[in-house]
Amino acid sequence: MRRNQTTLILASALLSIASPATAQRGGFPQPLIGLWAESPITCDLLKRSPANAPSDRSWVRISPETVSGTTSGRFLRVLGPRAAQTTDDKLSTITIDFELRRGDILFETVTGARASMQYMRCR
């Protein structure tokens, strides 16, 4: 009986250690996935004509593995339940963090940069 308990404890410990790695391979956290824009006007433009996305306005579309729009990149790792990091498609040495703060405001920060961008969810 004691041997089975030890095996169960070891198996539980291994699962808890493996869980963060599994989450990182899973892509962007669900709360980040969707269409985000700098303003309600930009959201309207994107909804009316998604094929003709405005190039003079800031917006991003986050899918489980990629970011497209003003920023384009690929999922790198989960930073928390409402945060993730991407690599930039144009320059792979640049990383970009996306984090939901203050409710539904998406913050985008280029690693090492002082400036950041804020987006609202397009509904």
DSSP 12-65: HHHHHHHHHHHHHHT-S-GGG-EEEESSHHHHHHHHH-GGG--TTS-EEEE-SS
Cβ(86)–Cβ(93) under 8 Å? no
Residue in this structure with the two tokens 């405005």, named with its chain if needed:
54
Distance CA 112, CA 123 (A): 31
The number of folded domains in the chain is: 1
Please report whether residue 63 resides in a domain: yes
Whole-structure pTM value: 0.75
pLDDT in tens, 41-99: 999 999 998 888 888 999 999 999 999 999 999 999 999 999 999 999 988 889 999 99
Domain with 85 in it: 26-121
Please report whether residue 51 resides in a domain: yes
Q: Does 8 score more than 50 pLDDT?
A: no
| Burial class of residue 75 in the structure, from the number of CB atoms within 10 Å of its CB (0-12 exposed, 13-18 middle, 19+ buried) | buried
Please report whether residue 14 resides in a domain: no
Please report whether residue 74 resides in a domain: yes
pLDDT in tens, 27-42: 999 999 999 999 999 9
Distance CA 81, CA 71 (A): 21
